[in-house]
């Protein structure tokens, strides 16, 4: 090995040691600076992503339409399309109504935010929302859906966008309780293949817990990361292990169709 390369390798190793020994606070500062620097690009990137998504949908839609036209049902299909558009608008209208009513009814101080990007990373389950530190976003603020279900927590606030770690991510942990029982545990996300429905797992239950399908699961407020009594989902299946019991949970939130979310800025509920 040439002396210059050896020296470069030494410097590289020293740099590596420096990075691996950075404190959590230092890493947070680095990430915050990086995220603030690229957040204007994220906003524009989100628009590009939406454009690409709409374009692909349009192409798929056009191909479906062509097949239907070939079946000599032109006129009927036109009405079908109109009806479908009306249904879509009706759905959107209902969603906005429910979002508005949620903001009016909730006991928390919340900020409504639009989801601008889903799953920006290859592995992690995150979304990006159009509110940043300037609008009161902070690390670990709790995020809810318009039906009141738990979505996740703010993991990285930027200047005008923020990243939200969903409860379906493997790194997420939410203290939870099962309604009508004394069972408490931790909700963790589960790895899913692309296109599969998202799953949650309630761990650290007692192994002889008596849990039935359909029982409601709520946050229990332990650890003070999430306020108590927020719906998380319903029990689908319970498995008793040698030490603990675990239950599969169907989330209360439809994570594939999240459009508007609410960030709780004051968890006291005053």
Cβ-based burial of 217 (10 A; exposed 0-12, middle 13-18, buried ≥19): buried
Q: Give, in degrees to the nearest 5, the angle at Cα 195 between 202 and 204.
A: 10
The CA–CA distances, whole Å, from 109 to 104, 106, 143, 266 equal 10, 8, 11, 5
Closest distance to other proteins from the beta carbon of 230 (Å): 16
Asked if 60 and 108 touch (Cβ cutoff 8 Å), the reply is no
By C-beta, is 99 or 165 nearer to other proteins?
A: 165
Closest distance to other proteins from the beta carbon of 30 (Å): 6
Asked if 216 and 179 touch (Cβ cutoff 8 Å), the reply is yes
By C-beta, is 126 or 162 nearer to other proteins?
A: 126
Closest distance to other proteins from the beta carbon of 26 (Å): 9
Handedness of CA 139, 141, 144, 150 (dihedral sign): positive
Query: Under the rule (CB under 8 A), what is the footprint of other proteins?
Result: 4-5, 7-9, 11-12, 15-16, 19-20, 22, 24, 27-28, 30-31, 34-35, 38, 41-42, 44-45, 48-49, 52-53, 56, 119, 121-124, 126, 139-140, 155-156, 165, 169-171, 173, 175, 186, 191, 193-196, 203-204, 222-225
By C-beta, is 37 or 100 nearer to other proteins?
A: 37
The CA–CA distances, whole Å, from 30 to 13, 69, 91, 123 equal 20, 56, 41, 21
By C-beta, is 131 or 153 nearer to other proteins?
A: 153
Closest distance to other proteins from the beta carbon of 224 (Å): 7
By C-beta, is 16 or 69 nearer to other proteins?
A: 16
């Amino acid at each position: 090995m040439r002396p210059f390369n050896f020296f470069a390798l030494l410097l590289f190793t020293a740099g590596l040691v420096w990075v691996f020994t950075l404190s959590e606070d230092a890493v947070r500062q680095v990430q915050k600076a990086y995220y603030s620097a690229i957040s204007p690009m994220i906003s524009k990137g989100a628009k590009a992503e939406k454009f690409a998504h709409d374009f692909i949908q349009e192409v798929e839609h056009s191909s479906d339409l062509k097949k239907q036209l070939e079946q000599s049902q032109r006129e009927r299909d036109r009405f079908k399309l109109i009806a479908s558009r009306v249904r879509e608008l009706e759905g959107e209208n209902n969603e906005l109504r429910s979002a508005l009513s949620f903001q009016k009814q909730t006991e928390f101080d919340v900020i409504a935010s639009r989801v601008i990007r889903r799953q920006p990373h290859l592995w992690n389950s995150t979304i990006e929302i159009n509110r940043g530190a300037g609008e009161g976003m902070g690390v670990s603020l709790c995020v809810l859906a318009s039906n009141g279900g738990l979505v996740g927590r703010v993991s990285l606030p930027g200047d005008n966008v923020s990243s939200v770690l969903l409860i379906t991510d493997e790194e997420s942990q939410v203290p939870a309780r099962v309604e009508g029982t004394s069972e408490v545990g931790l909700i963790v996300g589960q790895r899913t293949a692309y296109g599969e429905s998202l799953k949650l797992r309630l761990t650290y239950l007692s192994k002889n817990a008596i849990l039935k399908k359909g029982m409601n699961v709520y946050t229990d407020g332990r650890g003070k990361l999430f306020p108590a009594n927020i719906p998380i989902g319903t029990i689908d299946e319970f498995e008793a292990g040698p030490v603990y019991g675990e239950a599969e949970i169907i989330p209360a939130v439809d994570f594939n169709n999240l459009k508007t979310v609410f960030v709780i800025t004051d968890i006291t509920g005053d």
